[in-house]
Amino acid sequence: MDSRDGNLGKGALADVDLICSINKETGEIKLVSVFRDTYLRIDDDGTYFKMNEAYFKGGPKQALKTLNTNLDLDIDDYVTFNWKAVADTINILGGIDLEISDSEFKYINSFITETVESTGVASVHLASAGMNHLDGVQAVAYARLRLMDTDFNRTARQRKVISLAMEKAKNADFAVLNNILVTVFPQVSTNLGVDDIIPMAKNVKKYHIGETSGFPFAHAEMKINKRDSVIPLTLESNVIQLHEFLFGEKDFKP
């Protein structure tokens, strides 16, 4: 959530929408970023708007219903988090290493300043482009960058941060993972209980992030009522591709 006041419910903007599919048998995790400007039907009244408006209008319940209705899914679990939860998690994990391009470096320090002001978590500016060790605030700032390219690239950066954090978590001992639960779990809104999460944390080495992608796979961009919107081309064919990507379903009929 792009939530400066800590609100994680209705009235907060969904900055990032991610579908996370966890195969408990194989341990594979697949991530799909639903582009926040994706133009979908967001309520039972037939209102069409951007995906992130669904959460703003009706919180997690309406966001889940929008995903399930438009994409033929059956999601019932959710976790909503803000920037501070991400920053705290990555700080507890000891940071992540990634390459910062010249164009990314041009903008990242201003985003670091804004993220420090928003979260109250301390950080410093980066000195140069190239390989950097990022703390939690710096990683959040990296995941928020989009001024030098597009929101599609930004979602790829977000999935990269998640993948790197996951690798750190797999090599962490349970005391570190438990520290994340104790520190971060109270900051999130979710219908999962600690009892759902602890068994997965204990078996974290079993899990790995496999393929990741963005939805819609095929799309066009246009302005609708003067707002930038992402149009699935077509919704039907994209949903068929999504089910094959997430679940290996062949010949899915939406």
Identify the three-state secondary structure at position 152: helix
Task: Return d(Cα 16, Cα 117) in angstroms, integer.
Answer: 20
pTM as predicted: 0.94
Q: How is residue 187 annotated by DSSP?
A: G
Strand partners, 36: none
Distances in Å between the Cα of 158 and the Cα atoms of 34, 45, 154, 155 are: 12, 32, 6, 5
* Residuewise pLDDT in 10s, the chain (254 residues): 976 777 888 988 888 999 999 999 999 999 999 999 999 999 999 999 999 999 999 999 999 999 999 999 999 999 999 999 999 999 999 999 999 999 999 999 999 999 999 999 999 999 999 999 999 999 999 999 988 888 899 999 999 999 999 999 999 999 999 999 999 999 999 999 989 998 888 899 999 999 999 999 999 999 999 999 999 999 999 999 999 999 999 999 99
Q: Which residues pair with 220 in a beta bridge?
A: 231
> Do residues 235 and 70 touch, judged by C-beta distance below 8 A?
yes
The stretches of the chain forming alpha helices (DSSP H) are 51-71, 83-93, 102-119, 136-144, 151-170, 174-184, 194-202, 235-247
What radius of gyration, in Å, describes the C-alpha atoms of the chain?
A: 18
